[in-house]
Amino acid sequence: MLHQYLVSFEMLMTPQIILSIAGGVFGGLFIGAIPGLTSTMAIALLVPLTFAMEPVHGLAMLMGVYCGGISGGLVASCLLNIPGTPSSAATCLDGFPMARRGQAPRALGLAVYSSFSGGVLSGLCLIVIAPLLARFALRFGPWEYFALVIFTFSCVSSLSSGSTLKAFIAAGIGLALALVGTDPVDGIVRFTFGFDDFESGFNVMPALIGVFALPQLFQDADDVGKEAKLLDVEFRMKAFVDAGLEVLKHKVSLLRSTVIGIIVGILPGVGPGLSNVVAYAQEKATSRTPEKFGQGVLPEAIIAPESSNNASMGGALIPLLTLGIPGDASTMMMLGTFMLHNIQPGPLLFRDSGDLVYAIFIAFFISFGFMLLFYHLFIRYIIKALLVPAQFLIPVLVVLCAIGCYALNNRIFDVYCFVAFGAFGYLLKQFKFPVLPLILGLMLGHMAETQFRLAISMSNGSLLPFLARPISAFLLVASILSLVLPYYLEARRARRTGPVVSVIPPDAA
């Protein structure tokens, strides 16, 4: 294994790749700092560029963007009380009050060093867990892979905000769209309705970019003309660095939140958006002074969400590399990059392309090193990025997305798909439908169909092996439990609290 790490390290140690990682982190920090522009959007803009790169080069650059985009959201959370990215939502609760008390450098320092610590610790877990899980996944047959896809959909649906039914409807639409084109088993053209462009199906990348980028840009267009109210920050580097030493004094909070971030990150389709809220709630529940949360006086109230959201990055990469299942929206974009280069993530990836996997591990740590360095060197300028007018950003980003989609296959149909999926994604958001199950359905539909038909063929039409094989049976049972358990816990909580009794006198009513 040491030899593979040395080979991968040698692959990365070229000026082009190191500069690409540094540029990815730098750009990700600025994009993440601007409210409304997420790490997913940053990766979506750059994925088409990786088509002309070697896989190691492209994925290393995207790893830098991923790291910078997730970490950059803390700046807007602390100084504007607006989450720069969804992964920094809970940071607002105490980061902004602390900055408003005149301790902005301390709030930023706590957030930055917590992000760095959580990310590095999750990277160590990634190195340990991913190879073990990959070896275990080598036991998977078509029955287990199909059950894994079912489990992925059940997790996403049960953890999606809003109605579980809407999540299933969105996933069903994605699966239906995956059927358009050529049958992956028999090679028969289907559901094209006479349009030749439909024969190759819908390209995943234009759909991804459209669904995630365009609706957000449409939403940001509503804020055009509004002036961002930035706190008057007197930045002091000493207070910023001293906050890093303060993080080390709260080891229990840091480690607990990091573990939460890793576990939540491993869950398919969840990612840092949920982990920072869960870690903040857990920290408040275990605190001796929960009444002080939200006042900007407790460092652990910033350490918890920021360490967990960066820790979820390492967790999200584990199912991507070992099972080919994206852990969150950003790793879903990376899965698209693997597909661009005809590389299939999964347990065989460690055997067939071990140097690429270990190069990704090393790029993960290099990205966090650049992240910490750039915060020290450029944080004053990153703060200024909060004031960039939206009317300048939105047109540029839309044009870049369209150019990137066209460059994938040099066909205008992909641009039409980008616009169509963007409009459809915006419509889904207006009706409170989650878009993540839609994209998962489109991406995993071919895999689910192929594995199911292969399993049925190998078992002579019998469904019994799905229940007779231990791993597939366990995954199917876990899928059912993940759907039923939330309703059971809610009903149990309702029985404990009992019916709500009105205390309003009849005359007052």
Q: Which segments in the chain show pLDDT lower than 50?
A: 500-509
- Is residue 443, in this structure, part of any structural domain at all? yes
- Is residue 186, in this structure, part of any structural domain at all? yes
Domain tally for the chain? 1
Q: Which of 216, 261, 222 is nearest to 115 (CA)?
A: 261
Q: What pLDDT does 501 receive? A: 46
Q: Where are the beta strands (DSSP E) in 261-320?
A: none
- Is residue 498, in this structure, part of any structural domain at all? no
- Is residue 110, in this structure, part of any structural domain at all? yes
- Is residue 418, in this structure, part of any structural domain at all? yes
Q: Which of 260, 289, 259 is nearest to 275 (CA)?
A: 260
Question: 69-128: per-residue pLDDT in tens?
Answer: 888 888 878 887 766 666 777 888 888 888 888 888 888 899 999 999 999 999 999 888
State the Cα–Cα distance between residues 70 and 482, nearest whole angstrom. Answer: 27
Look up tokens 């459209």; give the residue.
Answer: 210
State the Cα–Cα distance between residues 343 and 351, nearest whole angstrom. Answer: 13
Range of the domain at 463: 2-484
State the Cα–Cα distance between residues 497 and 489, nearest whole angstrom. Answer: 12
Q: What pLDDT does 372 receive? A: 92
- Is residue 496, in this structure, part of any structural domain at all? no
Q: What pLDDT does 385 receive? A: 64
pTM (two decimals): 0.71
Provide the CA 56 distance to its chain's centre, in angstroms.
20
State the Cα–Cα distance between residues 146 and 148, nearest whole angstrom. Answer: 5
- Is residue 285, in this structure, part of any structural domain at all? yes
- Is residue 252, in this structure, part of any structural domain at all? yes
